[in-house]
Amino acid sequence: MSEASAAQSPWQTAKIIRIEKRTPRVTSFFFKLSRPFVHQAGQHVDVRLTAPDGYQARRSYSIASAPESGGTIELAIERLEDGEVSPFFHEVAAVGDEIELRGPLGGHFVWSDKDGGPLLLVGGGSGVVPLMAMVRHRTARKSSVPTALVFSARIWDEVIFRDELINLDDRRNGFDLVLTLTREAARRPEDYSRRIDAQMMMQSMARLPEPPRLAFVCGSNAFVSAAAQALIDADVPADLIRTERYGV
């Protein structure tokens, strides 16, 4: 995030209006913005917490909701044991609380239905969040852009947005979901139970009517490096791959 983009997005208050448990470690918080904005699918916000002694902690969170969500946004926050911000949300925050945030931020890792496709999305763990905003945007726009989402999680119960994604997959309207579990056997016949590799990428791309025009990869540093290399090994040109990395 550049200093210029941050300066153009002043801090504002946002009220928690709903809390929804997604997985044992991930909870969605829905915020009503005091100054509503329209974001692009894939963008994020900065969240700032201020302690009574004046100490401030900041963290960036991708927006999970579609741009069409109006004056509210959804942040799906994973609890990190050594985090400064996520424990507050998981242990303290309640409906009605107000926090400070600024955004929307980021302009590289974004997609609009006007950008077309086919589109290949690859997410690991909570890295699926900005990709979910793209999937929801596609749905809200009633877009026919062919889209495949390859989502890697450790176990079935850690598949964020699982029911919503499976319901979208069942519509058979050009959106295909591929789940791969790294510590459990696959639950669906079309899914995998291993880490992402080039063969999996090739088989996932075969679900699209033609090679992807854009590929988005999001997750931890290690996941993004491995997934991006798998895409390159599957003959996806590097200049079509956009990446976003979380943490270490």
pLDDT at 51: 85
CA distance 26 to 115: 30
Q: Is the peptide bond before 104 cis (omega within 30 degrees of 0)?
A: yes
Pairing of strands 56-62, 44-50: antiparallel
pLDDT at 248: 47
- The DSSP H or E segment spanning 242 is strand 241-246
Beta strand ranges found along 108-205 (DSSP E): 119-124, 147-153, 175-181
Q: Which residue has the tokens 């919503």?
A: 164
CA distance 37 to 27: 23
5 pLDDT more than 60? no
Convert the pLDDT of each residue in 82-139 to its tens digit.
888 999 999 999 999 999 999 999 999 999 999 999 999 999 999 999 999 999 999 9
Is the pTM above the cut of 0.85?
yes
Pairing of strands 56-62, 175-181: unpaired
pLDDT at 211: 96
pLDDT at 4: 43
In which region does residue 183 sit, left (phi positive, over 0), alpha (psi from -120 to 50) or beta (all else)?
alpha
Three-state DSSP string of 156-177 = HHHCCCHHHHHHHHHCCCCEEE
**Residues 11, 45: contact at Cβ < 8 Å?**
no
Question: Quick count: other Cβ atoms within 10 Å of Cβ 90?
Answer: 19
**Residues 16, 96: contact at Cβ < 8 Å?**
yes
**Residues 58, 45: contact at Cβ < 8 Å?**
no
Convert the pLDDT of each residue in 232-244 to its tens digit.
999 999 999 999 9
SS3 state at 111: strand
Domains, the chain, ordered by start: 12-105 (2.40.30.10), 113-246 (3.40.50.80)
Pairing of strands 147-153, 175-181: parallel
N-terminal to C-terminal alpha carbon distance within the chain: 17
- The DSSP H or E segment spanning 88 is helix 86-91
CA distance 24 to 22: 7
φ/ψ of residue 205, rounded to 5: -65, -25
Convert the pLDDT of each residue in 12-64 to its tens digit.
999 999 999 999 999 999 999 999 999 999 999 999 999 888 899 999 999 99
CA distance 212 to 101: 34
Reading the block at residue 3, the tokens are: 């200093």
Question: Quick count: other Cβ atoms within 10 Å of Cβ 60?
Answer: 15
Convert the pLDDT of each residue in 138-192 to its tens digit.
999 999 999 999 999 999 999 999 999 999 999 999 999 999 999 999 999 999 9
